[in-house]
Amino acid sequence: MAVGNKAYTVQESTNPYFKGVVGTSSTSSAIPSRALINNATSASVNITFADGVVGAVYMVQGTLYPIAATASSASVLYLY
């Protein structure tokens, strides 16, 4: 699925986020998220981006990151 505004239904594209899913290090999703929130302590987290590239992102607790991701090395909240 393409990532971008045209990849969502009207309801999904008019709402900033319509669903939150808690993901752990063993969770992987075929659908990329719209954003991530780290609810744990601030730490460096390995994120698998929508295009399959893995990168280390230092995530501060409670900060919203507009990242299209499919997996992470820590427990984060995926927003769709």
Q: Tens digits of per-residue pLDDT, 39-59?
A: 888 888 899 888 889 999 999
Sequence spans of domains, the chain: 5-79
| 52-80 per-residue burial string, b: 16 or more CB within 10 A, e: under 16 | eeeeebebeeeeebebbbbbbebebbbbb
How much of the chain, in percent, has pLDDT values that exceed 70?
A: 78
What pTM does this model have? 0.71
Q: Tens digits of per-residue pLDDT, 62-76?
A: 888 888 888 888 888
The DSSP result for 23-49, as a single string, is E-TT-B-SSPPSEEE--SSSEEEEEEE
Whole-number pLDDT of residue 1: 46
